Structure 1
């Protein structure tokens, strides 16, 4: 077993909230795919993640099931409604596991609509996607996220480094630090890890259960409640409803 695989296996054996400190985080490599083989297999009585994720519209449900089973157990996403609600949510947020990095390919009009206080008409035309040029996504991230959410000022590189990543996206240095502390992953030092499938699964389970407190909302069947907790509003509600209904048919 590799050192990284052993480290990841220990991580999922720890109780919620525990922080892993096995040595300098800077020594952890940018890819942690070696850990996949050590994520615990499905135990008796736990959700059939393969079937649930397939029903929720994941394009690689077998791969994602392997990554989700361990952290889902750690964060108690094990009851049928919880599993179905979680799968529906991450299915919507990530387009079935296909999108793990924030798309900042905004048009000029989209920038003005999304961040009217941060983009003047001239800046939106310059940075946004136009008929003759693609969007300057790095510049957009720096303008949109610079100087807030724990990030350095625009131009520091933080807005781009800590743009949204994951099955449930974390955005901004503060959110990456919270995920680092909760999951024991070196995401502040290596933010690209948040888009690695095994890390994305670990962070999403923590974000759902602890950061956003959605387990109780799922138990109550409060789909609008957990949608607001994740999204801040009800955007995408109908797609989440559709995925949730399909996943519920699997869990019974």
Structure 2
């Protein structure tokens, strides 16, 4: 028998087609190959990030991310550390990534508060539409007389925003926040799907025609990776591992969030795990 340099032995097997060859893989060679193939994140690492999450859910995340991260060029330590620091804040220790809840009370829909952003005062509330149309908040928000009409709240609040159509298009409801980064709006869905088609076209994920597919682990992960790429976040993440760098990533995802400190804390964990250097 002639042993090839790559630890394979070619055998002619009579019962198979004569145009085919069967290969024997040396056990040590096979183990070495498996150990180096797409092992960018591990279950042990995710156990640190998501201690309360179901182990099967974490294992599926490991498998999906490792399968696709090279395709999206999201396999460097800095990108992985920044990406999962953001995901930690979005889904929490149990990896909860359900549909965006729009179960708002009438009073909450009308509520406003003033925040300072870049030295400017901004009025903040759940949705501008209901602040400007308080009677609609009374009609569709939750109160003592009826439950919240979440579909109408979504369609009114998100109409003609983020690439959505008008109220009657139902885009607000179909493309409400979902997934690991709470992807919201037809425009963001389209941008993410474009990247999925480009880098993972054989994945079978179609978040435009099947928006609920984001509620699967595979759909949630690929839509988040598609969003990440479509917003140039690889470039932002590769700039460094300082608090400023974390804030720069966060500002792309949600510049108005109150969780910037938490995301910096998350990154202090992920950068140690993936040895992200300054």
Name the TM-score class by shorter chain. 0.7 to 0.9
State the distance in 2 between where 1:65 and 1:45 align. Answer: 10
Q: Tell me which residue corresponds to 2:101.
A: 103
Q: Which has the higher strand share?
A: 2
State the distance in 1 between where 2:98 and 2:70 align. Answer: 22
Q: Tell me which residue corresponds to 1:250.
A: 273
State the distance in 1 between where 2:144 and 2:206 align. Answer: 40
Q: Tell me which residue corresponds to 2:215.
A: 195
State the distance in 2 between where 1:116 and 1:176 align. Answer: 22
State the distance in 2 between where 1:106 and 1:42 align. Answer: 49
State the distance in 1 between where 2:40 and 2:214 align. Answer: 24
Q: Tell me which residue corresponds to 1:147.
A: 160
The count of aligned residue pairs is: 211
1:189 Cα deviation from its structure 2 partner: 1.2
State the distance in 2 between where 1:161 and 1:133 align. Answer: 23
1:154 Cα deviation from its structure 2 partner: 0.9
Larger RCO (CA under 8 A, 6+ residues apart): 1
Q: Which has the higher helix share?
A: 1
How does 1:1-252 map onto structure 2 within 5 Å?
A: 43-44=36-37, 46-57=39-50, 59-60=53-54, 61-96=58-93, 97-112=95-110, 113-119=125-131, 120-131=133-144, 133-184=146-197, 185-208=205-228, 210-219=229-238, 220-221=240-241, 222-252=245-275
Q: 1:71 to 1:122 in 2, by over 3 A?
A: same
**Gaps spanning 5+ residues in structure 1: where?**
1-40
**Gaps spanning 5+ residues in structure 2: where?**
1-33, 111-124, 198-204
Q: 1:163 to 1:234 in 2, by over 3 A?
A: closer
1:69 Cα deviation from its structure 2 partner: 1.6
Asked if 2 retains the 8 angstrom alpha-carbon contact of 1:158 and 1:173, the reply is yes
Asked if 2 retains the 8 angstrom alpha-carbon contact of 1:46 and 1:78, the reply is no
Q: Deviations over 1:119-155 (max 9, x none)?
A: 4222212222335543211111010112333322113
Q: How large is the RMSD of aligned CA atoms in angstroms? A: 2.3
What secondary structure is seen at the aligned counterpart in 2 of 1:114?
Answer: coil
State the distance in 2 between where 1:233 and 1:46 align. Answer: 35
Q: Deviations over 1:188-236 (max 9, x none)?
A: 211111222101111111222x122222332312000000011133431
Asked if 1 retains the 8 angstrom alpha-carbon contact of 2:177 and 2:184, the reply is yes
